[in-house]
Structure 1
Amino acid sequence: MTQDVRIEIDGKAGRIRLDRPRALHALNEGMCGTMLAALENWREDAAVEVVLIDHAEGRGFCAGGDVRRAAESGRGDGVEARAFFATEYRLNHRLFTYAKPVVAFMDGVVMGGGVGISQPAGFRIATENTLFAMPETAIGLFPDVGGGWYLSRLPGRIGQYLALTGARIDGADCCALGLATHYLPADRLETAKARLAEAPQEAADRLDELAEAPPEAGILAYRDAIDRLFASDRLEDILAALEADGGEWATEQVRVLRSRSPLSMKVALKLLLDGATMPTFEDEMRQEYAVAAHIVQRPDFAEGVRAVLVDKDHAPRWQPDTPEGVTDHMIDRIFAPLPAEDEWRPQA
Structure 2
Amino acid sequence: MSAANDPKYYVDGNTDHSGNSDYNAAVLFATETTASGHLIGIMTLNSPKSLNALSVEMCHLLSQQLEQWQSESQLVAILLKGAGDKAFCAGGDIRKLYDSMSDSAPFPNPYATEFFSNEYRLYRQMHFYPKPIILWGDGIIMGGGMGLMASCSHRIVTERTRFAMPEMTIGLFPDASGSWFLQHMPAKTGLFLGLTGAQCNGNDALLSNLAEYGVASSDYDAVLQQLLASDWQAMFDSGYVLTAHNIVSEALAKQPTVELAKSKLAMHWSPIQRLMNSGGLAAIDALLQDDQALAQFDSDFANDSWVQRAVQTYRQGCPVTAALAYTLYHKVKLLSLEQILYLELNVAVHCAANPDFREGVRALLIDKDKSPKWSRSLAECLTAEGRSYIEEHLDNPYTETTHPLSEWLGIDALSAQYVR
Question: Within the alignment, does 1:266 sit opposite 2:311 as a pair?
Answer: no
Question: Within the alignment, does 1:92 sit opposite 2:126 as a pair?
Answer: no
Question: Within the alignment, does 1:40 sit opposite 2:67 as a pair?
Answer: yes
- Percent of matched pairs sharing the same residue: 31
Give the aligned length.
346
Find the counterpart in structure 2 of residue 203 from structure 1. Answer: 248
Deviation track 1:173-229 (CA, whole Å, cap 9, x = no partner) reads: 111222110001111121112322443642111100104264332322211111111
Alpha carbons of structure 1 residues 330 and 232: separation in structure 2 relative to 1, 3 Å: farther
Alignment partners' CA distance in 2, 1:187 and 1:341: 50
Correspondence list, 1:72-221, <5 A = 72-75=99-102, 76-77=105-106, 78-199=109-230, 201=244, 202-212=247-257, 214-215=259-260, 216-221=262-267
Question: Within the alignment, does 1:230 sit opposite 2:276 as a pair?
Answer: yes
Shift in Å, 1:311: 1.4
Alignment partners' CA distance in 1, 2:310 and 2:161: 22
Shift in Å, 1:59: 2.1
State which of 46, 50, 53 in structure 2 corresponds to 1:23.
Answer: 50
Question: Within the alignment, does 1:63 sit opposite 2:90 as a pair?
Answer: yes
Find the counterpart in structure 1 of residue 403 from structure 2. Answer: 343
Find the counterpart in structure 1 of residue 30 from structure 2. Answer: 8
Shift in Å, 1:82: 1.6
- Contact 2:135-2:154 within 8 A present in 1 as well: yes
1:235 aligned partner, one-letter code: L
Shift in Å, 1:120: 1.3
Find the counterpart in structure 2 of residue 324 from structure 1. Answer: 379
Higher helix share goes to which structure?
Answer: 1
- Contact 1:53-1:104 within 8 A present in 2 as well: yes
What is the SS of the residue equivalent to 2:353? coil
- Contact 2:149-2:210 within 8 A present in 1 as well: no
Shift in Å, 1:275: 2.5
Q: After the TM superposition, which of the residue ranges 210-219 and 99-108 deviates more from structure 2?
A: 210-219
Question: Within the alignment, does 1:245 sit opposite 2:294 as a pair?
Answer: yes
Alignment partners' CA distance in 2, 1:219 and 1:94: 30
Alignment partners' CA distance in 1, 2:345 and 2:229: 38
Alignment partners' CA distance in 1, 2:311 and 2:46: 37
TM-score normalized with structure 1 length: 0.94
Question: Within the alignment, does 1:334 sit opposite 2:393 as a pair?
Answer: yes
Unaligned runs of 5+ in 2: 1-11, 13-23, 34-38, 233-243, 414-420
2:29 aligned partner, one-letter code: I
Alignment partners' CA distance in 2, 1:195 and 1:251: 41
Shift in Å, 1:284: 1.1
Deviation track 1:289-312 (CA, whole Å, cap 9, x = no partner) reads: 111111111110110001111111
1:227 aligned partner, one-letter code: Q
Alpha carbons of structure 1 residues 252 and 204: separation in structure 2 relative to 1, 3 Å: closer
Q: After the TM superposition, which of the residue ranges 115-124 and 225-234 deviates more from structure 2?
A: 225-234
Alignment partners' CA distance in 1, 2:311 and 2:229: 50
Shift in Å, 1:324: 1.3
Unaligned runs of 5+ in 1: none
- Contact 1:152-1:272 within 8 A present in 2 as well: yes
Alignment partners' CA distance in 1, 2:75 and 2:159: 29
